[in-house]
Structure 1
Amino acid sequence: MGTVTRFDSFAEFDPFAEHERTRAALRDVVPRLVRLLQGVRDMDAPSGVPVWTVGDVGAHLAGVHFAYSVGFTDESVEWDGLLPPDDGRSFGERIAAMNATSIGLFSGEERAGLGDFVSERSEMFLRVTEGLSPDTPVTAPWLGKESALTLAAATGLMLSETLVHGLDIARGAGLPWPIGPEEASLVLGQSMPTLMPLALDTAKARGVDIAFDLAIKGGPRLAVVIDDGTATVTRDAPPRAYDCRITAAPVAFLLVSFHRMPIWKAIARGQMRAGGRRPWLAMRLGELIASP
């Protein structure tokens, strides 16, 4: 493998402080989303997601905020009626099926109140999880049978969904939707260590042995190790040898990861570059880990 990477210049990761910053970012971005939805003139307009309308994206976001908040309330949800059967589907196929279900939960005139619903559910989530440790377990049956996340990962995923799908709505509505580097960094640090192993294409990764050093400008730094059909992602790992080093601006990496920006554009703008002994392996990361 390539040269050993040292981490001496990076500040020590404080999971509690970063979790609180992620909660604050989620609290700040949801009112922006509400204003965005209120500014949409045509809910049936095409969005940034090829097969979804702007209203479909809003309905999906409402479903996301409901799903994460309901686990901390006394509400009863018949998940068996909403979840796809556990029939060996891949992670990507399961998420696609859940997404298709989510956009049907709100239709017609109900979509006029999507902003208020998202605001209510996100506020509920933040209120009932206040003071809980970032490693508090959160059930997430939509990710797979008996799947569970940490509260930190769940908060990061809610922030990710809100930022990325806010962009989808804005693109369809012709409205601005800036994503800040700190917001993107929080998403990458809080959610990617959990999401990337789940999203691994195990068939493509069988027999593959690659270690990536993923350095996001301003943090986080992730060691992404693919080992014969499994993936581990570690924050600020001890020094080790890597095959490929990817350096990226946080917003660019977030958008490339979720297929909202082509990788060639990020490279052309100087926002992503590959190095190390085998830099050409950088393209394999997107092939092995699918976007949900």
Structure 2
Amino acid sequence: MGTVTTFDPVTEHERTRAALAAAASRLVALLRAVPDQDARSGVPEWTVGDVGAHLAAVYLAYTALVSPDDAVEWDDVLPSGEGTFVERITAMNSRSVTLFGGEERAKVPDFVAERSDTFLRVTEGLPPDSPVSAPWYGEVPFTLATVTGLLLSETLVHGLDVARGARTPWSIGDDEARLVLGQSMPTMMAAALDPVKSRGVHIAFDLAVRGGPRLAVVVDDGTVTVTRDAPPRAYDCRIVAAPATFLLVSFRRTPIWKAVASGRMRAGGSKPWLAMRLGQLVAGP
């Protein structure tokens, strides 16, 4: 079954905060150096300026979750009706691009810098398991650790989108990716399960990220449990992946065939062919 390691949630959370501070600083420098706001980005339907506007909205939203002084009237922003996970996130993404338009886009780097500082200042010293409500995700139970990991993932992945459009280098280190995967992936995989495609499905995945974390992802007839450092058990499929590669495959920035061809992702276990099902069962906008 392989070795299952344990982690210290407080130490890992502090490392995630430090990684977020460093990544946000790199992002601000990148946004300030973009030569053409109208260049196509790594997101096919968005320009580089659109991605910057989305990032500003992301930092606005996540800071509002933890800072009473920056509260947002969510009823004015959230899409109407319940909707599926994908529908809600897609609607929020579309709305986010419109919050910063025209001349306001020139202020995006400074806004991101200010909000990242505020987020880290307001949350300093808070326990990683502090509950946080993120209305656009519905009733999913979030913690401060989850939110911090998500903000780091937005910074890293959308930083890559901007850099691809600006033809500028941008790195996502394996240590950064491990923090994202450990802090936010268990919650987000559970939230993003496709209830239709997973109906009648019974598959146990052993997701082993090289160097950690290790997640047991058990899909059982329309429900899923994602457990970190799970006790040994039998799995149908084992997926071993390099951290940054798995992060980019998860966010659909790298095709899975390329990850497999490069040797940075491989499947094993009694039913290795089920590895392709994981990306189909866990939805994404």
TM-score (normalised: structure 1): 0.95
Q: CA deviation at 1:148?
A: 3.8
Q: CA deviation at 1:290?
A: 1.6
CA distance in 2, matches of 1:38, 1:22: 24
Q: CA deviation at 1:74?
A: 2.6
5 Å-filtered alignment, 1:1-292, equals 5-8=1-4, 10=5, 12-71=6-65, 72-87=67-82, 89-144=83-138, 146-292=139-285
Structure 1: gaps of 5 or more residues: none
Secondary structure in 2 matching 1:74: helix
CA distance in 1, matches of 2:212, 2:204: 18
Call closer, same or farther: CA 1:244–1:147 in 2, change over 3 Å. Answer: closer
2:219 touches 2:225 (CA, 8 Å); kept in 1?
yes
1:7 touches 1:236 (CA, 8 Å); kept in 2?
no
Give the AA of the match of 1:138. Answer: V
Q: CA deviation at 1:232?
A: 1.1
CA RMSD of aligned residues (A): 1.0
Q: C-alpha offsets along residues 146-201 of structure 1, whole Å, 9 cap, x if unaligned?
A: 44410000000000000000000000110010110000010000010000011110
Q: C-alpha offsets along residues 258-284 of structure 1, whole Å, 9 cap, x if unaligned?
A: 110011111111000000000000000
Call closer, same or farther: CA 1:271–1:46 in 2, change over 3 Å. Answer: same
Identity of counterpart residues, as a percentage?
A: 68
CA distance in 1, matches of 2:71, 2:208: 42
Aligned residues: 284
CA distance in 1, matches of 2:116, 2:36: 24
Q: C-alpha offsets along residues 1-20 of structure 1, whole Å, 9 cap, x if unaligned?
A: xxxx2435x3x211111000
Give the AA of the match of 1:78. Answer: E
CA distance in 2, matches of 1:236, 1:148: 20
CA distance in 1, matches of 2:254, 2:2: 30
1:243 touches 1:277 (CA, 8 Å); kept in 2?
yes
Q: C-alpha offsets along residues 109-163 of structure 1, whole Å, 9 cap, x if unaligned?
A: 111111111111111011010000000011100112x444100000000000000
Call closer, same or farther: CA 1:28–1:76 in 2, change over 3 Å. Answer: closer
2:195 touches 2:223 (CA, 8 Å); kept in 1?
yes
CA distance in 1, matches of 2:145, 2:151: 10
TM-score (normalised: structure 2): 0.97
CA distance in 1, matches of 2:262, 2:234: 28
Structure 2: gaps of 5 or more residues: none
Q: CA deviation at 1:211?
A: 0.4
Q: CA deviation at 1:208?
A: 0.5
